[in-house]
Structure 1
Amino acid sequence: MTRKTALLIIDAQTGIIEGPPDGPVHNAAGLLQTMQGILLKARQQSIPVWYVQDLDVAAVEDEAFATHPAIAPLPGEPIIFKRATDSFHGTDLHDQLQAAGIQHLVIMGCQTPYCIDSACRKATTLGYDVTLVKDGHSTTDNDVLSAEQIIAHHNKILHGMGNLEPFILVRHSEENLFEPTHDSYR
């Protein structure tokens, strides 16, 4: 079955990726390189792109608030502003995706245990199959685990996680992410 796909870039803001106030995230340079490559492929294949920005990162006019310039949105690419970790909560993201006929989301961005995790899980409850880019999300260390451990943990626990029909697959950036493989597992 063919599903219309969109790329969702979550909280890839300068203040998170490079800091301050929240970064730098683990392997920031590698993350940006991966995200640039995926974004380029999406645009070349006419895959629609949505950006989500967290209003708690910094004041809207601050450089820290802006999407990192290496992966900045093009004119016409929607930007959703959110206050919660869940990109769908209190926003019209779901309505916009539905209006565009999207059924499959490729997700990448920051912070893995918060905004990436909650978006992946919520998307499945809203009926989307999700592809999480294995090497396309990052975070910072916490008091218990290193960022690298957190990322590996989430890649493991989110792979195959679902709610009824829709579910999450974790795939490497070198794969054809925009061609969902979910049906081969159903």
Structure 2
Amino acid sequence: MTTRTDRPHTALLVIDVQNGVVREAHDRDRVVANIATLVGRARTAGVPVVWVQHHADDLPTGSEPWQIVPELSRRDDEPLVHKAYGDSFEDTDLEQVLAAGGVGRLVVTGAQTDACVRSTLHGAFTRGYDATLVADAHTTEDLSAYGAPPPGQVIAHTNLYWGFQSAPGRTAGTVDTADVDFAAAAVA
């Protein structure tokens, strides 16, 4: 139901699942395994997988912390979007990548929940995309020493509020890995 009526396709978006981003992440291994499952299922269904990779002072391009985690492997034919801001659309070619694929619906995974994942969800939604967050395929580190809630609560709260997002002509919501149906998305 995206407002991008000329874009009937869905893409899986994998945000910042990099060594330095998820090294200390909450429930890291389960989340990465869920993302790997989704990547495999998307590929099987012919749904594009779009990878997003952040660079910053603590994630210098080409460094070990900057690399995508070894459990996930990007194919050469899958788009890789490099970013320096939380919102994966901001000052990147993500919009052009999605337009070229006729994508109007995003299935979102990655890290960190309370930073780049949230920013990208909101960025996508305000740009007219349908945006579904995979509830058990995003994570964050423990920032409670800085006043944030524990990571499990950050994740739960994000899942709760994203399930109630609404705007004219767009859909949002959450779904568990087991319930993502790429086969239906590929033919929609």
Structure 1 length normalisation: TM-score? 0.89
Give the counterpart letter for 1:163 in structure 2. Answer: A
Name 1:33's counterpart in structure 2.
33
Name 1:94's counterpart in structure 2.
95
- Whole-angstrom distance in 2 between the partners of 1:176 and 1:59: 33
**Structure 2: gaps spanning 5 or more residues:** 2-6
1:156 is aligned, of 151, 155, 160, to 160
Name 1:76's counterpart in structure 2.
77
Q: Which protein has greater RCO, CA pairs closer than 8 Å, 6+ apart?
A: 2
SS of the equivalent of 1:71 reads coil
Correspondence list, 1:53-132, <5 A: 53-56=53-56, 57-132=58-133
SS of the equivalent of 1:165 reads coil
Give yes or no for contact 2:53–2:80 (8 Å, CA) kept in 1.
Answer: yes
- Whole-angstrom distance in 2 between the partners of 1:130 and 1:124: 6
Structure 2 length normalisation: TM-score? 0.88
Task: String of CA shifts for 1:35-90, please: whole Å, max 9, x gaps.
Answer: 11111101111110111111114121211101112112111111111111000000
Give yes or no for contact 1:130–1:169 (8 Å, CA) kept in 2.
Answer: yes
1:8 is aligned, of 13, 17, 37, to 13
Name 2:4's counterpart in structure 1.
none
Q: Which runs of 4+ in 1 moved over 4 A?
A: none
Task: Answer yes or no: is 1:174 the counterpart of 2:174.
Answer: no
SS of the equivalent of 1:115 reads helix
Shift, 1:142, TM fit: 1.8
Give yes or no for contact 1:105–1:130 (8 Å, CA) kept in 2.
Answer: yes
2:22 is aligned, of 17, 21, 24, to 17
**Structure 1: gaps spanning 5 or more residues:** 19-23, 181-186
Shift, 1:176, TM fit: 2.8
Shift, 1:125, TM fit: 1.4
Q: How many residues align?
A: 175
Q: Which moved more, 1:169-178 or 1:145-154?
A: 169-178
Name 1:21's counterpart in structure 2.
none
